[in-house]
Amino acid sequence: MANLKELRSRITSVSSTMQITSAMKMVSAAKLNKAQMAITAMRPYADKLTELLQSLSASLEGDSASAYAEQREVNKVLIVAVASNRGLAGAFNSNIIKAVRGLYENEYAGKQVDFYTIGKKVNDVVSKTHTVVANKNEVFDDLTFANVAAIAEELMEKFTNGSYDKIVVVYNKFRNAASQDVTTEQFLPILPVENATATNVDYIFEPSKEEIVEQLIPKSLKTQLYKAIRDSFASEHGARMTAMHKATDNATELRDSLKLSYNKARQAAITNEILEIVGGAEALNS
């Protein structure tokens, strides 16, 4: 009977876990739907704005070139690592941690590498071994363009005042609910367009090209960072929904297996009791 009691306890425990993971899956699915619509709507605008600014910046030369496009010898690098404040999202956070570890151990080995973290999980890891100049966990509590723009302005200032020669953003790019791509994008300096001749269009600028670029570049950088964080936000809910779906399926499978074991053990116990009764009756009759 002790074995049956243990099995009943485990079945109850697994059933409770299954209810929790199922509820978390539904919550993440609802949040994912809203986050997915937001990132899908802004991607075309952000991508076109970035393409336009790269093309215009590439056409400026000498003193007219933007300070945000200044190419310097890379000695000091700032990695903006975007993860999440919570776990239970599969490999979502660990993939970011692996990516930034690969950057400072390989690509930027021998250089000064500091971190700007957005998300508690990545901050908890990198802060143990590297300098974290700022940690913006609270941005996910109110993910608006204004709050992200303030972060972008801080990063832009760190580049223009010479604190860092290069700033990169590492985040999970949303593909679909079950798939996210770890992406590393150069934030500053602005990358020149790869094929300037292919995008060279005869525009008429009013006011001057230089004034337009100087006004649009900050907006473009803010939009680029906002898109990255929005991508990560949608990816987090997709990863958590998938992880909770798998956890629910595993819990269901384990519960069914435990119920089968319980029924077999209970049937064996009943059979033994019947055999004992029959054996006792035969002993009385003999």
Distance CA 241, CA 244 (A): 5
pLDDT, mean of residues 72-84 = 94
Segment 175-233, tens digit of pLDDT: 888 889 999 999 998 876 655 444 455 666 677 777 777 778 888 899 999 999 999 99
SS3 content of the chain, % helix, strand, coil (to 5): 65, 15, 20
pLDDT band at 81 (very low <50, low <70, confident <90, very high): very high
Q: What angle do CA 73, 78, 82 make, to 5 degrees?
A: 145
Quote the pLDDT of residue 198. 44
| Mean pLDDT rounded to a whole number for the chain | 86
Residues 6+ positions from 175 with CB-CB distance below 8 Å: 181
Six-digit token string for 156 = 């832009």
pLDDT above 70 (res 59): no
Bigger pLDDT: 110 vs 167: 167
pLDDT above 70 (res 120): yes
Segment 11-35, tens digit of pLDDT: 999 999 999 999 999 999 998 988 9
Quote the pLDDT of residue 194. 58
**pLDDT above 90 as % of the chain:** 52
**pLDDT above 70 as % of the chain:** 89
For 29-242, which CATH superfamily applies? ATP synthase, F1 complex, gamma subunit (3.40.1380.10)
pLDDT above 50 (res 38): yes
Q: What are phi and psi of 190, to 5 degrees?
A: -65, 130
Residues 6+ positions from 181 with CB-CB distance below 8 Å: 172, 173, 175
Quote the pLDDT of residue 197. 46
Q: What are phi and psi of 15, to 5 degrees?
A: -65, -40
Distance CA 185, CA 224 (A): 10
Segment 131-177, tens digit of pLDDT: 999 999 999 989 999 999 999 999 999 999 999 999 999 999 998 88
pLDDT band at 98 (very low <50, low <70, confident <90, very high): very high
Query: Domain segments of the chain: what residues?
Result: 29-242
pLDDT band at 65 (very low <50, low <70, confident <90, very high): low
Q: Which of 219, 39, 40, 235 is nearest to 146 (CA)?
A: 219
